[in-house]
Amino acid sequence: MKIFGIGIDIVNINRFKTSLKKNRKIQLRIFSKHELILSKKKFNKDLFLAKRFAAKEAFSKALGTGISKGINFNEIVVTNNTKGKPKILLSGKSNKIVQKILKKKKFKVFISLSDDKPSAVAIVIIAL
């Protein structure tokens, strides 16, 4: 396995919460419907969403593109496996663009999320 890229991002949870409250439409551009539904079931919705935002930023950094080239945040879905381990799923045209950038259909994404108020952090490794 070869590492394609590594990305890390840190988010100030309070500043993130304020940004979301100022512009509700931004939630739909950043998060998938699945993520927004899950967030409503969480005790600390803002922390939940801030960690996922950090993961999306870290993924785009690991990819080496940032959010550009047609990749949409709401098509980078941060979810968890049955044991709670976070994982990234790609959907829509973003999935095709990522495969084109990586020049492979199969790749692995390793992700770790953490928080210590007032910060949320994510690190992502993309391996081929």
| Closest C-alpha among 125, 128, 76, 72 to residue 103 | 128
Could you tell me if 126 and 93 are in contact, meaning their C-beta atoms sit under 8 angstroms apart?
Answer: no
Q: What is the DSSP letter of 20?
A: H
How high is the pLDDT of residue 66? Answer: 76
**pTM value?**
0.92
What six digits make up the tokens of 40? 């409503």
Render pLDDT for 95-108 as a digit per residue (tens, 0 to 9).
988 998 998 888 99
How high is the pLDDT of residue 116? Answer: 94
Dump the DSSP string for 60-88: HHHHTS-S-TT--GGGEEEEE-TTS-EEE
Residue 21 banded pLDDT, cuts 50, 70, 90:
confident
As a whole number, mean pLDDT of residues 107-127 equals 96
How high is the pLDDT of residue 5? Answer: 96
Write the CA distances from 115 to 45, 61, 73, integer angstroms.
13, 19, 21
Distance CA 127, CA 73 (A): 20
Render pLDDT for 27-81 as a digit per residue (tens, 0 to 9).
999 999 999 999 999 999 999 999 999 999 999 999 998 777 778 999 999 999 9
How high is the pLDDT of residue 107? Answer: 93
List domains and CATH numbers for the chain.
3-127 (3.90.470.20)
Distance CA 114, CA 108 (A): 20
How high is the pLDDT of residue 23? Answer: 79
